[in-house]
Amino acid sequence: MDKECFFQNTISDTFVIEGIGIHSGSLSRVKFHPAEENTGIVFLKNGYKVKAHVENVVDTSNSTSIGNGIVYFRTIEHIMAALYLANIDNVVIEFLDSEESPIMDGSACEFFKLLEKNRASQSAPKLFGYLSNIVRVSNENRYIMAKPNKELSITFEGFFGNFLKHQIYTYKSPIENLIKDKNLISARTFCHIEDIAKLKKMGLGKGGSLENNVVLTDSGILNKGGLRHSHEPVSHKVLDLIGDLYLAGIRFSANIYSYMGGHKLNVEFVKEAIKHIKTIEYTSEPAKIAS
Ligand SMILES: [Zn+2]
């Protein structure tokens, strides 16, 4: 395994990513700063710091947002997924103007590319967790269930409307597998055409367009060029789940199955799962640790 798998990583230098927020429609510039070992993922605005942790989640309607009652960081799930997949442990993410992260092309691509390019190894051992018990959370017919497993495996199953119908897909760690074919990182966020009016009514989706969002109809895809790959929407649901899983504050192995889960259920799942995560230093192959 590579060195970055055993030791913590930060970034070598600051960089800024800018774009519009999908819900706010406002211009957003986000500055990534290197951080010391054992800092974790910390968001910063106007001098206030909020750790990317499930206890700081303030909203899960159509995206995941954290805050401290004074400052808020909205729609952070694609940044969190990119940090997870780029193997970054310590970073400070400063929101320079908007409360919402930029949506970019609707995927984690832009964040991932810059994070991976700037990744810098540190000398503290990486902490790693594994699930010790079965965890299940549900909400009506939706549920997420996880079983102890020596590797991370994530399956999402759901119904994606009359055109795509039923989709199920599994991604398995190690991270190299998750990022190898780029289908996960490049999977864009999506909505059904009938959801657009509902979102606008809620004051959301103001920045949404065919440039940053896949629009599904009963007969096809509105975006020119269609989907990037046949399982793009289900892949995006896995990407969102990975971003929310990283709000545990640690990577952990488990066999996770989500049936129609969204941010609300993802966060409930992480809150429950952290009660059953055993933490270890990631200094040897996980296969030798968890069985
Ligand atoms: Zn998403």
pLDDT of residue 175: 80
CA of 7 to the centre of ligand 1 (A): 28
Beta-bridge mates of residue 158: 167
Q: How far apart are CA 59 and CA 76, in angstroms?
A: 11
**pTM value?**
0.94
Q: Say yes or no to pLDDT of 285 above 60.
A: no
pLDDT category, 20, cuts 50, 70, 90? very high
Residue 291: helix, strand or coil by DSSP? coil
Residue 258 · residue 239 · CB < 8 Å? no
pLDDT category, 79, cuts 50, 70, 90? very high
| Region of 164 on the Ramachandran plot (φ > 0 left; ψ -120 to 50 alpha; else beta) | alpha
pLDDT, tens digit (0-9, with 9 covering 90-100), for 270-279: 999 999 999 8
Stretch 217-241: mean pLDDT, rounded? 95
CA of 41 to the centre of ligand 1 (A): 19
What are the residues whose beta carbons fall under 8 Å from the beta carbon of 35, sequence distance 6 or more? 10, 42, 90, 91, 92
CA of 87 to the centre of ligand 1 (A): 19
Percent of the chain whose predicted confidence (pLDDT) is above 90 = 85
* Residue with the two structure tokens 């609707």: 106
Environment class of 209 (CB within 10 Å of its CB; exposed 0-12, middle 13-18, buried 19+): middle
DSSP string spanning 57-119? EEE-SSS-EEE-SS-EEBS-HHHHHHHHHTT---EEEEE-S-SB---TTSSSHHHHHHHHHHE
Q: Say yes or no to pLDDT of 89 above 50.
A: yes
CA of 288 to the centre of ligand 1 (A): 34
CA of 134 to the centre of ligand 1 (A): 26
Catalytic residues: 263
CA of 97 to the centre of ligand 1 (A): 21
Tell me the HSE value of 191 on the side-chain side, using a 13 A CA sphere. 21
CA of 58 to the centre of ligand 1 (A): 17
What are the residues whose beta carbons fall under 8 Å from the beta carbon of 120, sequence distance 6 or more? 9, 10, 11, 12, 34
pLDDT, tens digit (0-9, with 9 covering 90-100), for 129-184: 999 999 999 999 999 999 999 999 999 999 999 999 999 999 998 888 888 778 99
Q: What are phi and psi of 68, to 5 degrees?
A: -130, 15
pLDDT of residue 288: 42
Q: Say yes or no to pLDDT of 291 above 60.
A: no
* Residue with the two structure tokens 């009359």: 162
